Amino acid sequence: MEKEQLEKEISKLKTLLMENLTVNLGVTAVDDHDYNRTKILFENIVEKDVNDYCLKMGYNIKFRFIIKNNKGLSGIALNNTQEFKEMGINIIIGHPSSTHCYVSMEYVNKNNMLLFSSSAQSSQLARKGDNLLRMHPNDAYQGHVIAEMLSSRGVRAIIVIELESLWADGIYKILEDIFLKKGGIVLERVKYNLELTDFSSHLARIEDIAVDAVRRYGREHVNIVLLSYEEGIKIVKQAKDFSTLYSLYWFGSDSTARFLAYTSEASEELTHLKIFSPLPEPTKSQFYFSLNQSYYALTHEPLDFDTASKYDIAWILARAILKSKTTDVKRLLEVIPEVASMNFGASGWCKLDENGDRETANYGIYGYEYVNGTATYKNYGVYDGTLGRVFWIEFPSS
């Protein structure tokens, strides 16, 4: 008994001193594909980089990342969270999905755990004081980006067509606020139900508004903003029957960016309207290019924003643990914002806002065009999150 008690005391002392320890951190993947690439990233790159740094800096600590697959199911995500807790792991790089975070947060908060997600972006998760951090701007932030895209093109008036949803409401609220401050005007806001398939009555109404707006402001100063998911394909196809609406450029959100699955259904309409849409992307720094080269050699895939963010989260957590000399979640939640704000990682500047979400990011701006007779997406520009400005690579002539 004395030996066991002594070992416990030694273990406790090591923990307090953060010496001769292996710190286990959990990682979750959203599905099989994500699991495979996440496993490659952490086993071949992250764990080596972090532990090499610890050795170089004289820390007698090792980090180990244990990866679980949520299999695309919320129930499995919650089970994985509970299993990590049973293993003594309170810190998880995950969950990638907003839905998986939703179902886990009650358990996470109650059991003093921490989720740090790379890609959950629902604005409904933007809450102060909980144990969820996100290395992704919330959905509503796109309103900033879209407003800047419009104003940078000299657009003075817009008509918004949006799915009736909390998601679209969040984007619209910020879009309207920023666009009005920049001197723009929202001519009409049309909300539709997800079950609707015939949009002709909505389109007929805003066609009349568009005709008057073009006469008043000029065609190049009037645009359409579409906040939709897959049903947006029906809208753009039906818009072809309304000459003024079809003569304007359309803008969208990340849900209409690089929408290749539907180019075969509406190639003519997509390439005509363009649907300029923002999509979060890593800042193209020298560090990103170097890491991307290593990652691509292992996976034959480019390092995307979500995967680069996982890499950055691992570093932020490691540095926060080393700085605070603890894995206590409450203490880490106090330290992480400062550590993140000083980290310009593979994905870019990692500063968090008051809700613990990424404050900003770079966004690629994508539209559609024909390339060698095939409809595909094209990168037309970039939104620089640090500067809050849009830089167009090119813009099609009217």
- Identify whether the C-beta of residue 179 lies closer than 8 Å to the C-beta of residue 153: no
User: Pairing state of beta strands 389-392 and 21-29?
Assistant: unpaired
Contacts (Cβ under 8 Å, ≥6 apart) of 34: 69, 96
Q: What is the mean pLDDT of residues 332-361?
A: 97
Among residues 382, 381, 355, 379, the alpha carbon closest in space to that of 368 is found at 379
Q: What is the mean pLDDT of residues 52-65?
A: 95
pLDDT in tens, 34-46: 999 999 999 999 9
Question: Is pLDDT at 144 greater than 60 in this prediction?
Answer: yes
Number of C-beta neighbours around residue 369 at 10 A: 15
Q: What is the mean pLDDT of residues 138-159?
A: 97
- Shared-domain flag, residues 106 and 244: no
The DSSP symbol for 261 reads: G
- Shared-domain flag, residues 275 and 291: no
- Shared-domain flag, residues 248 and 375: yes
Range from 54-63, 261-270, 336-345 carrying the lowest mean pLDDT: 261-270
- Shared-domain flag, residues 275 and 292: no
Query: Which residues sit opposite 357 in a β-bridge?
Result: 134
- Shared-domain flag, residues 209 and 248: yes
% pLDDT > 90, the chain = 90
The DSSP symbol for 304 reads: -
Q: At what angle do helices 47-56 and 305-324 cross, to 10 degrees?
A: 30
State how far the alpha carbon of 98 is from the alpha carbons of 30, 45, 119, 123, 251, in Å: 10, 26, 8, 9, 25
Among residues 95, 135, 114, 35, the alpha carbon closest in space to that of 345 is found at 135
Range from 88-102, 130-144, 259-273, 282-296 carrying the lowest mean pLDDT: 259-273
Query: What does the block give as tokens for 390?
Result: 């849009």
What is the domain range of residue 259? 141-280+363-392
- Shared-domain flag, residues 19 and 60: yes
Q: Provide the pLDDT confidence category of residue 4 given band limits of 50, 70 and 90.
A: low
Q: Nearest 5°: CA angle at 74, between 68 and 78?
A: 60
Average pLDDT along the chain: 94
Phi, psi of 160 (to 5 degrees): -105, 125
Is 122 inside a domain boundary?
Answer: no
- Shared-domain flag, residues 295 and 256: no
What confidence score (pLDDT) does residue 258 get? 84
Q: Please give the single-letter amino acid code of residue 17.
A: L
| Choice between 204 and 2, residue whose per-residue pLDDT is larger | 204
Alpha helix stretches (DSSP H) within the chain: 2-17, 32-41, 47-56, 74-86, 98-110, 142-152, 166-181, 200-217, 232-239, 243-247, 263-273, 286-299, 305-324, 329-341
Domain count, the chain: 2
- Shared-domain flag, residues 27 and 6: yes
- Shared-domain flag, residues 234 and 247: yes
Q: Which residue has the tokens 């106090």?
A: 334
Is 135 inside a domain boundary?
Answer: no
Among residues 145, 126, 139, the alpha carbon closest in space to that of 387 is found at 145
Spatial distance between the Cα atoms of 336 and 394, rounded to a whole number of angstroms: 39
Q: What is the mean pLDDT of residues 347-365?
A: 97
Q: What does the buried/exposed string (b/e) look like for 347-361 if buried means 16 or more CB atoms within 10 Å of the residue's CB?
A: bbbbbbbebbbbbbb
What confidence score (pLDDT) does residue 261 get? 78
Is 134 inside a domain boundary?
Answer: no
- Shared-domain flag, residues 55 and 149: no
Is 87 inside a domain boundary?
Answer: yes
Q: Please give the single-letter amino acid code of residue 337.
A: P
Is 96 inside a domain boundary?
Answer: yes
User: How many helices and strands in the chain, by DSSP H and E?
Assistant: 14, 13
Question: Is pLDDT at 13 greater than 50 in this prediction?
Answer: no
Is 26 inside a domain boundary?
Answer: yes
Is 348 inside a domain boundary?
Answer: no
Burial-class residue 287 by CB neighbours within 10 Å (0-12, 13-18, 19+): middle
The pTM of the full predicted model, rounded to 2 decimals, is 0.91
What confidence score (pLDDT) does residue 259 get? 80
CATH number at residue 155: 3.40.50.2300
- Shared-domain flag, residues 207 and 152: yes
Query: Could you tell me the strand order of the sheet in which 362-371 lies?
Result: 277-281, 362-371, 374-384, 389-392
What confidence score (pLDDT) does residue 187 get? 98
Is 356 inside a domain boundary?
Answer: no
- Identify whether the C-beta of residue 348 lies closer than 8 Å to the C-beta of residue 303: no
- Shared-domain flag, residues 266 and 376: yes
Question: Is pLDDT at 119 greater than 90 in this prediction?
Answer: yes
User: Pairing state of beta strands 222-227 and 157-163?
Assistant: parallel
Among residues 168, 311, 151, the alpha carbon closest in space to that of 229 is found at 168
